[in-house]
Chain A
Amino acid sequence: MKTQDNVYRVVHRVLHGGMIASTVLFVIGIGAALRRRQHVPLDAAWIRGHYRLSSIGHGIVTMDATTIMMIATALMILTPAARVLVSIWAFWVDRDRKFVVVTSIVALIMMATLVLAGAGLT
C-alpha cells in the first residue's frame, strides 16, 4: 500500500484551515450581531440583497454582522470542494493515477450538479 502521507497531510491542512478561518469569522459576526441586537427579516430577497459587491465592501468596512457571516459561510461551503481539488493534485504528486481519475470524477459530478441546478433542473 502506498503511504499516502502527502494526501493525508494536504487534506488535513485544507479542512483544518477552512474550519478555523470560518469559525473565527462566525464568532466575530455573532459578536457584532449581538452588540446591535437588530430585527432580522427572514426572506430570501433580504438575504440576496447582501450579495452585491458594493454591499460586501461596505459590510466589511462597517463590520456588518450579516456580511461577515456570509463570508464565513462561503468559506465553509467551499472547504469540501477545495479538499477534493487539492486531493487531485496530491494524488498526482504521488503518481497515483487511478485516484487522480477517481477524484476528478467526483469533482466533475459536483460541477455537473451545480450546472444542472443553475439550469433549473433541480
Chain B
Amino acid sequence: MDYSFGFVATLFGAACVAGFLGALLGVGGGIFIVPTLVLWFHLPMKIAIAASAVSVIATSNAGGSSYVEHRITNLRVSMFLEMFTTFGALSGAVLALYLNEHVIQLVFAAMLAYMAWAAFSTRNLDDERIASGAYANATPDRISKWLDLRGSYHDEAAKRDVDYVVSGAPIGAGISYVAGIASGLLGVGGGVLKVSAMNGYMNIPMKAAVGTSKLMIGVTAAVSSMLFFVAGLVHFIVVGPVAVGTTAGATAGTLVMNRLESRWLKWIFAALMAYLAFEMGRSGIRGARG
C-alpha cells in the first residue's frame, strides 16, 4: 500500500462522516468505515475491522467526553448497563465458536427491523413527553430505585432541563446483554441496540440515551481492539487518519446533537436501523444459501 496525500484525505473524509453520524446517534460508525476500507482501498477485511474497532474508541472518547462534560451522559446508567454489555461481548466471542453466524445475523436483522419500526412509530413521542414532563413522572422498578437510576440534562432544542426517572432496568439489561453479543459476534449493531433499549424500554430520553451509549461503546471496542492489537491486526498507518477523522467528526456531531429536535434524531436513527437490518438480513440469507 502506498501512503499518499489522496489516501489520507479520503480516509479522513470518510471517517469524519462516520464520526459525525456516530456522535449524533450514539453508535460507533463501523458500518461506514469497514466498507470504505474494503471497497475503496481494497484492504484485507480483518485489518479493516480492526481499524473500525479503534475508530469506535476515537468517536467514543471524543463524543463521550463532550456529553459527560455537558451532563447528557448518565454515568450511573452507563456503568449499570456496561456490566451486561461487556458480559454479552464475552459471551458473543465464545458463542462464535458454536453457533451458525448466518442464523444469528437473521435473528439480529429481525430484531433491528422491529426496533427501526418502533423508533419510527414513536418519532414524535420524545418531544411530547419532554414538553409534558412525563419522563420525570415514571415509576422506577426495584433495581432502578435501589441504584438511584435517574438523571437530568439541559435540552437546547426544547430550551429546558429534562428530568427523568429510569424504569424497566431488567429489560434494558437484557437488551444490553444482547447488544454485547452482537458486538462480540458480528462486530456491529451494539450502539444501535443500546440506544433502543434505553429510549424504548427504560424511560430515558433519546438524547440522554445517545450520550450514554456513546460512552458505553468505547469499553466494548477497547476490549476487541486490545485483542486485535496483540494479534498484529491494528495497522497504525491506516488507523491514524481514521482516528483523527472520527475524532473531528464526533466533535462536530456533539455540537449539533443537542440542538436538534428529538424527532429528527429518531428519523435518522430509524433509517440507520432499517439499513442495518436490510444489510444483516441480506448477508444472513446469502450465507445460509451457501
Contacts and interface: CB of A to CB of B under 8 A. Distances in A.
A47 B236 contact: yes
A121 B92 CA distance: 12
Given A47-B234, A76-B243, A114-B227, A122 B96 contact: yes
Given A15-B65, A110-B219, A113-B93, A73 B75 contact: no
Query: What range describes how many residues of A lie at the interface?
Result: 35 or more
Given A1-B148, A109-B87, A114-B226, A19 B54 contact: no
Contacts of A44: 231-233
Nearest to B60: A80
B83 A112 contact: no
Contact of B227 (A33, A34, A76, A122): A122
Contacts, number: 181
Interface string B1-36: 111110010000000000000000000000000000
B39 interface: no
B271 to A, nearest CB: 28
Per DSSP, chain A at the interface is helix
B58 A76 contact: yes
B65 to A, nearest CB: 4
A51 to B, nearest CB: 8
B237 A66 contact: yes
A15 B94 contact: no
A80 B59 CA distance: 11
Interface string A62-88: 000110011011101111110110010
Nearest to A105: B83
Given A30-B241, A45-B232, A109-B83, A19 B75 contact: no
Interface in B223-276: 223, 225-227, 229-237, 239-241, 243-244, 247
Interface residues of B, number: 63
A95 interface: no
B237 A40 contact: yes
Contacts of B86: 106, 109-110, 113
Interface string A7-38: 11001100110110011001101100110111
A52 interface: no
Contact of B221 (A34, A80, A113): A80
A19 B55 CA distance: 12
A26 B245 CA distance: 11
Contacts of B218: 79-80, 83
A23 B236 contact: no
A121 B243 contact: no
A110 B222 contact: yes
Contact of A77 (B68, B226, B233): B226
A53 interface: no
A55 interface: no
A67 to B, nearest CB: 8
A122 to B, nearest CB: 4
Nearest to A47: B232
B3 A121 contact: no
A29 B79 contact: no
B76 interface: yes
Contacts of A116: 90, 93-94
20 contacts: A1-B151, A2-B148, A8-B69, A11-B68, A12-B65, A15-B68, A19-B62, A26-B240, A26-B243, A34-B4, A37-B2, A47-B232, A66-B236, A72-B243, A80-B222, A83-B219, A87-B79, A103-B79, A110-B223, A114-B226
* Nearest 8 CB-CB pairings of A with B: A44-B232, A69-B236, A15-B65, A80-B218, A48-B232, A122-B93, A80-B222, A109-B86
